């Protein structure tokens, strides 16, 4: 077993176990109106202000498909490198719930609009994993029951009722909590790049059902070789997990729980569980025996959905450059795979980087962005869209370092100044005399001053050439950080008679 494989196992009392994870992600379609009605989808309206007769399930109302939602599903499918099914069907999924006035949800069952695809995820150790997509189908969202508005009544808000959701189902191709969280993050990046879902997990625009099972080491490999699920353990489904962190925590907890049950002589029953993020544990909601029989049947109010191949191709032509392609381009420009994957994770960050990196060394630009810009954003609790110093201004600073107008040290001070006070970096450098000193006369004078003040160190450095760095530091201090360090190094070596190496 390779080290990477080994890191995917969990130790139990009776031996090692593997975790297997598959996900069903509900992503709300970005569209002004709902899947089958013209009511608005805007978030945060007063309850029941965005409800048509269709969304309220009035008898005799006829659903009318919203072309924009179809286009968004196809766009997402193309972004997932998936098969687009030119013919798909809408089915009724029947169940009773107070926030589902129709008594059924219109969904797609046997014939979804999008078939198999794939998502690549980058892990911290540099490994890239391919997660298979099983399908993507369109369905209506339900309304919301409000239990905390009144001491002895519950209310129903139908604003969400009928909003288009994409349910994206993966194959069970994830093996660790890190992979599960990374998958969700990557999927969110893709739909955001595509503009098909805003990915706001705290507003519920994206939520994940996480399926977890455990099996003995080797089971997953046999499953991948044969395609037979019998090599995997029985899964439990953890419903509606709404952040990457909770996905990771829920997987960790659930895998441990299952191992303990099996090692204690019990068996895992297929069931639906809830993740309680306060207690940090999953709890049973209902077992498979209690699961609904939804009595799916084709919705008689809706014709099969037939797409024109030319229309699909026209959508394909409008796809933006997606994270994987952007990453490949950044790597070709000289970035490491890891740096590139961090930069493309958010489209705004990638755009910022590209402007900041114009005409300068890619690696230097990425380092500046990571260490200086993102470091300060992090410190100030800001996101890239709130950055106080524009990409162009950062670019000007990097250019000044590259052409030796200012030193790397001064560049950081300069960023601090424009970060808090604003202003044009070049003008600030002029106005405050921050230009780098390459004038050897001034550097020599600073060296003499340092030597005169530290005669003992001059003796020491002869024995310990490593001390030269201390001298460089002192000379830099003497010049207010403005001396060119390369010039200082060279001048010191000559003056102190130091060997070239060390």
Q: Which residues bind ligand ADP (CB under 6 A)?
A: 20-24, 169-172, 211-213, 229, 232-233, 235
DSSP 216-242: ETTHHHHHHHH--GGGS---EEEEEE-
Query: Which residue, 152, 172, 167, is CA-closest to 208?
Result: 167
Q: In whole angstroms, what is the distance from residue 36 CA to residue 56 CA?
A: 12
By the 8 A CB rule, do 73 and 113 touch? yes
Q: Compare residues 56 and 169 and give the one whose CB is closer to ligand ADP.
A: 169
Q: Compare residues 33 and 213 and give the one whose CB is closer to ligand ADP.
A: 213
Quote the least distance from Cβ 3 to ligand ADP, whole Å. Answer: 24
Q: Compare residues 23 and 259 and give the one whose CB is closer to ligand ADP.
A: 23
The DSSP call for residue 467 is G
Q: Which are the contacts of 236, defined by CB distance < 8 A and separation ≥ 6?
A: 211, 212, 213, 254, 258, 268, 270, 271, 272, 273, 282
Q: Compare residues 180 and 335 and give the one whose CB is closer to ligand ADP.
A: 180
Task: Give me 112's structure tokens.
Answer: 């979804």
Quote the least distance from Cβ 23 to ligand ADP, whole Å. Answer: 5
Q: Compare residues 61 and 274 and give the one whose CB is closer to ligand ADP.
A: 274
Quote the least distance from Cβ 176 to ligand ADP, whole Å. Answer: 13
Distances in whole angstroms, Cα of residue 442 to Cα of each of 90, 344, 494, 498: 80, 45, 16, 21
The DSSP call for residue 89 is -
Quote the least distance from Cβ 211 to ligand ADP, whole Å. Answer: 3
Q: Compare residues 22 and 481 and give the one whose CB is closer to ligand ADP.
A: 22
Q: In whole angstroms, what is the distance from residue 169 CA to residue 112 CA?
A: 11
Q: Residue 283, CB half-sphere, CA atoms under 13 Å: how many?
A: 5
Q: Compare residues 20 and 166 and give the one whose CB is closer to ligand ADP.
A: 20
Q: Compare residues 254 and 372 and give the one whose CB is closer to ligand ADP.
A: 254
Quote the least distance from Cβ 210 to ligand ADP, whole Å. Answer: 9
Q: Which residue is nearest to ligand ADP (CB)?
A: 22
Quote the least distance from Cβ 256 to ligand ADP, whole Å. Answer: 15
SS3 content of the chain, % helix, strand, coil (to 5): 40, 20, 40
Q: Compare residues 212 and 475 and give the one whose CB is closer to ligand ADP.
A: 212
Task: Give me 252's structure tokens.
Answer: 């960790």
**Could you give the 3-state DSSP secondary structure of residue 74?**
helix
Burial letters for 186-195: b for 16+ Cβ neighbours within 10 Å, e otherwise? bbbbbbbbbe
Quote the least distance from Cβ 132 to ligand ADP, whole Å. Answer: 8
DSSP 247-275: HHHHHHHHHHHHHHHHHTT--PPPEEEEE
Q: Compare residues 21 and 356 and give the one whose CB is closer to ligand ADP.
A: 21
Element (H, E) at 20: strand 16-28
Quote the least distance from Cβ 134 to ligand ADP, whole Å. Answer: 6
Quote the least distance from Cβ 286 to ligand ADP, whole Å. Answer: 13
By the 8 A CB rule, do 158 and 99 touch? yes
């Amino acid at each position: 077993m390779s080290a990477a494989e080994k890191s995917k196992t969990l130790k139990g009392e009776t031996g090692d176990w593997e975790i297997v994870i598959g996900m069903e992600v509900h992503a709300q379609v970005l569209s002004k109106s709902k899947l089958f009605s013209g009511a608005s989808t805007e978030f945060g309206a007063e309850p029941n202000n965005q409800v048509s007769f269709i969304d309220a399930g009035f008898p005799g109302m006829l659903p009318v498909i919203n072309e924009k939602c179809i286009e968004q599903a196809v766009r997402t499918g193309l972004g997932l490198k998936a098969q687009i099914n030119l013919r798909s069907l809408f089915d009724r999924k029947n169940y009773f719930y107070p926030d589902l006035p129709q008594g059924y949800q219109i969904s797609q069952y046997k014939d979804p609009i999008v078939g198999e695809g794939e998502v690549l995820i980058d892990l911290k150790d540099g490994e890239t994993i391919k997660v298979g997509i099983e399908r993507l189908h369109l369905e209506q969202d339900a309304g919301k029951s409000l239990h905390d508005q009144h001491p002895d009544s519950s209310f129903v808000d139908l604003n969400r009722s009928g909003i288009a959701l994409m349910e994206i189902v993966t194959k069970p191709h994830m093996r660790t909590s890190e992979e599960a969280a990374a998958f969700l993050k990557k999927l969110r990046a893709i739909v955001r790049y595509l503009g098909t879902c805003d990915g706001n997990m705290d507003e519920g625009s994206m939520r994940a059902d996480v399926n977890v099972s455990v099996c003995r080491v080797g089971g997953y490999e046999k499953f991948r070789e044969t395609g037979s699920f019998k090599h995997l353990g029985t899964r439990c489904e953890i419903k509606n997990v709404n952040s990457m962190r909770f996905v990771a925590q829920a997987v960790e907890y659930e895998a441990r729980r299952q191992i303990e049950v099996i090692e204690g002589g019990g068996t895992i029953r297929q069931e639906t569980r809830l993740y309680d993020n306060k207690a940090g544990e999953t709890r049973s909601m209902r077992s498979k025996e209690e699961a609904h029989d939804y009595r799916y049947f084709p919705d008689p109010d809706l014709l099969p959905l037939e797409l024109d191949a030319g229309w699909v191709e026209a959508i394909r032509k409008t796809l933006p450059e997606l994270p994987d392609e952007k990453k490949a381009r950044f790597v070709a420009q000289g970035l490491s795979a890891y740096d590139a994957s961090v930069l493309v994770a958010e489209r705004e960050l990638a755009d910022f980087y590209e402007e900041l990196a114009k005409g300068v060394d890619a690696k230097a630009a990425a380092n500046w962005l990571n260490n200086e810009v993102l470091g300060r954003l992090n410190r100030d609790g800001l996101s890239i869209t709130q950055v106080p110093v524009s990409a162009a201004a950062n670019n000007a600073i990097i250019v000044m370092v590259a052409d030796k107008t200012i030193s790397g040290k001064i560049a950081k001070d300069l960023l601090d100044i424009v970060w808090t006070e604003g202003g044009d970096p070049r003008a600030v450098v002029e106005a405050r005399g921050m230009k780098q000193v390459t004038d050897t006369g001034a550097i020599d004078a600073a060296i003499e001053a340092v030597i005169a003040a530290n005669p003992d160190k001059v003796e020491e450095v002869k024995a310990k050439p490593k001390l030269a760095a201390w001298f460089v530091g002192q000379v830099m201090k003497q010049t207010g950080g403005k001396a060119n360090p390369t010039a200082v190094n060279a001048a010191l070596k000559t003056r102190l008679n130091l060997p070239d190496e060390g």
